[in-house]
Amino acid sequence: MYYDVVVVGAGVSGLGCAIKLKQLAEKNNKEISICVIEKGSSVGAHILSGAVMEPTALNELFPDWQKRGAPLRVPVTSDHFFYFTGKNTFSLPIPKTLDNTGNFIGSVSQYCQWLAEQAEQLGVEIYPGFSATQVLYNDNNEVIGITTGDMGRDKEGNPTQQFQQGLDIFAKQTVFAEGCRGSLSEELKKRFLLTNYSDPQTYALGFKEIWEIDAGVHQKGKVIHGIGWPLSSDTYGGSWIYHMDDRQISIGLVVGLDYKNPYLNPFEEFQKLKTHPYIKKILTGGRRLSYGARALSEGGWQSLPKLSFPGGLLIGDAAGFVNVAKIKGTHTALKTGMVAAEEIFKQITIHSNSPTEITNFTNTIKDSWVGKELFTIRNIRPSFKFGRLFGLIYSALEFYLFKGNVPWTFKNHSDHLQLLPTKTQQPIHYSKPDGIITFDKSSSIYLANIHHQENQPVHLQLRNPDVAINTNYFIYGSPESKYCPAGVYEIVKELSAPPKLIINSQNCIHCKTCDIKDPTQNIKWTCPEGGSGPNYSNM
């Protein structure tokens, strides 16, 4: 199959890129063929975010988005910023970056579904349920497209009766919008040395649940952000509660993946959060509707890779455009897709058949308002490596006194190198779930609506199986069994037999945490059969 442009990933940035390209083509009476490949079973199936959305970029893409029915229907009515201790709640001044005046509470999953509708109306071809598993290169080491994964292979990789071979999809420009820690994006970074002049990316793991609560405690449009308990002072992270419509709230916890204690269990920290008296009062009498988790990129300005290579571009969270200080990334992701479209349109108009490199794209993004946003807040996230108190004080001084214009830039570090051996750390006790406010992983992943063929190839691979026991188990206490939010990794101990790591790949919700946090980078996340994974509808 041949197209002018192929976009890998039907998230906010990928769909924004496709839409803007079609708008430019229509305005200039040009024909541009565009194909969007999405590994989820439907558009939005793998999309998860808080989310309070800033409409800055959407206003540029569709000034009439409200008339078009965009699912941003709950304007923020009030902002609250709390410091939690084990029992108490202290109100803090609202940081300027968390002022959500003019913003909206919504579902990014539904937002992407709406963007897909707009794209298809413009003539974009969108194919959900197809995973991009390989990058295609020509003899000049230029990207010329992608290959979709085979369907219908068994665990050993042999074709079954349902076998369908993957397709080669060729393009003049290939845009990678895979989201955080995209497998092909990571391959491209290594092949084209895109991160040679940037800091390591740093990540966090975000948990989210949707609850339906009693009308008496529901306040539509109310936004709550929290720091402190249950996380220790040396663990970066924070919580949120967003009051949506229909008596529903979004509640979640973000845990920085540069934590040091291998006993820390981010899922259990999230469950523990819900037992705080302030939060438990909101949830009591309600019922949990949805659960999900996803890693997000937090490195910001100093961790941005080079965004272009021969034949393609990186956009959105595949490159890492989350504004940590705002706790938002949809507006920056959308803008990177729009800027990519503008540069691609110029390129394919001038060079009709050559997969040339759009060398100015990185600087164009950095010169845009996206770059200015990230540069101003570049030191906030890394300042917390010195502890929560220092991070809060420093961030306030830099942002309010110096407005981000300091002559230094703090460095980011690789998350997988931060874990310390179990013998140096104190175990952490977590209470058993009550099944009312707190839950176990099994009942939680049931709400993620996972689809996975039992007989398909295992997509979570160990580069060296011995390392899983000799290093991970004996030195770090098998941290993968704790940080995985879906119970994929399990240590089995039988009498007179050595411990064994079991990988329950059918539980995977594609959060990518194992690919990020494994201390020796021994776990490799590869793209599974198209359509596998969670099926979020309102996350």
Q: Which two tokens stand for residue 289?
A: 């509707």
Assign 46 to helix, strand or coil. Answer: coil
The yes-or-no answer on residue 294 being catalytic is yes
Question: By the 8 A CB rule, do 80 and 221 touch?
Answer: no
Q: What is the spatial distance between Cα 356 and Cα 142, in angstroms, rounded to a whole number?
A: 8
* 193, burial (CB in 10 Å: exposed 0-12, middle 13-18, buried 19+): exposed
Choosing from 112, 180, 511, 527, the catalytic residue is 511
Task: Identify the H or E element spanning 465.
Answer: none
Q: What is the spatial distance between Cα 480 and Cα 515, in angstroms, rounded to a whole number?
A: 10
Q: Which two tokens stand for residue 279?
A: 């939060």
Q: What is the spatial distance between Cα 488 and Cα 528, in angstroms, rounded to a whole number?
A: 14
Residues sharing a CB contact under 8 Å with residue 506, sequence separation 6 or more, in sequence order:
450, 452, 454
Choosing from 153, 181, 288, 294, the catalytic residue is 294
Choosing from 303, 484, 513, 527, the catalytic residue is 484
> Would you give the distance in Å from CA 458 to the centre of its chain?
22
Q: Choose among 112, 143, 164, 188: nearest CA to 6.
A: 143
Choosing from 388, 514, 527, 532, the catalytic residue is 514
Choosing from 33, 330, 362, 376, the catalytic residue is 330
Amino acid at 52: V
What are the angstrom distances between the C-alpha of 264 and each of 241, 419, 421, 483? 23, 10, 12, 8
Choosing from 17, 35, 112, 508, the catalytic residue is 508
The yes-or-no answer on residue 133 being catalytic is no
Amino acid at 427: P
Question: By the 8 A CB rule, do 294 and 206 touch?
Answer: yes
Choosing from 33, 42, 49, 198, the catalytic residue is 49
The yes-or-no answer on residue 180 being catalytic is no
Q: Which two tokens stand for residue 408?
A: 């230094």
How many residues does this entry show for the chain?
539
Plot region of 267 (φ>0 → left; ψ -120 to 50 → alpha; else → beta): alpha
The yes-or-no answer on residue 49 being catalytic is yes
The yes-or-no answer on residue 330 being catalytic is yes
The yes-or-no answer on residue 484 being catalytic is yes
Q: Which residues are catalytic?
A: 49, 294, 330, 484, 508, 511, 514
